[in-house]
Amino acid sequence: MMFYDPYSERQGLYRFLSENKVLICIAAVLLFIVGMELASLYHRIRGGAGDVANDGAAAQAAGENVGENAEPHGRDGALDAGSGQAAGTQAAWVDDAQAPGKPDGDWRLVLINNNHPMPEAYAVSLASLRNGLQVDERIREPLEQMIADAGSAGLSVLVASAYRTAAKQTELYENKVERLRAQGMEENQAKAEAIREVAFPGNSEHQLGLAVDLVASHYQRLDDGQADTAENQWLQARCRDYGFILRYPQDKTDITGVIYESWHFRYVGVEAAGEIMDKGLCLEEYIDLLNGK
């Protein structure tokens, strides 16, 4: 029978530790670094839900979860060179006469659509949300307050898309055209259909930094089902209190030129939002009303 000697086993362990202490130290440092990176990743993902009030879900889902109009988390966080927009400058027109649909110089009511593209002179000062996406710095506070209040009501709202560079908008538009062509459409038909869902570069409110796509954390798709979520119904009923409107209503597609987007909210200020929502208008109609048309 073999005699078990625990003292000898301990001595062997001590020798191993002594002979390999350098490797053990290196391994410990590597494990520490990996642990810190994992902790940092976890907190970044949790932080995205700060755009979400009280929810630990990641603020962005990959691929189709947030639809073709949204970009994966952080992807558009940095500005593209040559996009015509830059951080650190105040949103303004070089010449107010160039500002389409801008009554009395009000930056909140700038009208951008297929008939009113953004002039190259437009620049915006951006602020980052907790999930890394960006908006015009002047709307961050009311946006975050709206999402926080939704959280207090037991709802979890995610920012799926916010500011976009011209380069990003071009990529989304061209991808949509290619998908439609792959389905058998002629190029001209595909382009005409694409702009009903993805604005032509220069015609997107996302390039203003005043528009956001908001989704329920449990339903991260930009489709008809979004309107059925409690989160979207809460937003549509209360967005006006924070200066936002539902930009593309279901019964205004002939005027806006855009399909019903229950997830797309635009900042116009509390006063204008109240009038627009009370009167059942879209932004185009409200601008006409202000201009006496």
In a domain, 223, yes or no: yes
Of residues 247, 11, 6, the one with CA closest to residue 109: 247
- 18-46: pLDDT as tens digits: 667 667 777 776 776 666 666 555 444 44
261 is catalytic: yes
We report the CATH number of the domain holding residue 223 as 3.30.1380.10
In a domain, 97, yes or no: yes
Residues 6+ apart with CB under 8 A from 1: none
Provide the number of structural domains found in the chain: 1
Residues 198, 174 contacting (CB under 8 angstroms): no
Distance CA 69, CA 259 (A): 13
Q: What is the pTM of this model?
A: 0.64
Residues 158, 57 contacting (CB under 8 angstroms): yes
- 82-97: pLDDT as tens digits: 233 333 333 333 334 3
Give the domain extent around 182: 6-290
In a domain, 1, yes or no: no
The catalytically annotated residue of 144, 205, 231, 261 is: 261
Per the DSSP assignment, residues forming a β-bridge with 159 are 214
Largest CA distance in the chain: 105
Helix (H, G, I), strand (E, B) or coil at 48: helix
Kindly state the tokens that stand for 182: 């792959």
